[in-house]
Amino acid sequence: MDAPEPDIVGRLAGAAAAPGPADGVPAYHTPVFVPAHPRYPADGAPRIAVELLEHAGTTPVPVAFTTLRKLVDALGPAQPWVACSIGPFTEAVRDAGLPKVRLDPSVAPGIRTWRTEDLRAYAQEVGRP
């Protein structure tokens, strides 16, 4: 006699909702603001480079901020950034072998940040207006 096929659809319909994220962990699609800037390599294929932040004398770490205001307060108004979802960002960081993302990190005084004149110089260097 053949074994009965499992009722997958029925099990899913009757299953309890998946638990949400743990306390203090944002939901997968939570938008975050990540320090980043465009790169224009010699091969002509532009891409976005995520910036890593020095953290307490350790290996530079990827960071993300839960609001644009927090990014600007930490890194200044000239900091280039991209917005993305925290889930795919942390997965990409993990897949690249980088340390875990620090969310809304405090930034040590005196850390080098982008200035308006840096943006102008970078735009001239890469030939972009």
For residue 122, give the amino acid letter.
Y
Residue at 79 is within a domain? yes
- pTM value is 0.76
Does the residue 14 lie in any domain? Answer: no
**What digits encode the pLDDT tens for the residues 114-124?**
999 999 998 88
pLDDT at position 79 is 96
Count of domains forming the chain: 1
**17 — pLDDT class (breaks 50, 70, 90):** very low
Per 3-state DSSP, the chain is made up of helix, strand and coil in percentages (nearest 5) of 30, 20, 50
The pLDDT tens digits for 56-98 are 677 899 999 999 999 999 999 999 999 999 999 999 999 999 9
Please report the pLDDT score of residue 16 as a whole number: 47
Q: What is the pLDDT of residue 81?
A: 96
Asked whether residue 53 is domain-assigned, the answer is: yes
Q: Which domain holds residue 59?
A: 28-126
Q: Specify if 107 maps to a domain.
A: yes
* Angle at CA of residue 23, ends 50 and 67, nearest 5°: 40
88/31 Cα distance (integer angstroms): 10
Q: 1 in a domain, yes or no?
A: no
> Is residue 65 assigned to a domain?
yes
Specify if 54 maps to a domain.
yes
> Would you say residue 34 lies in a domain?
yes
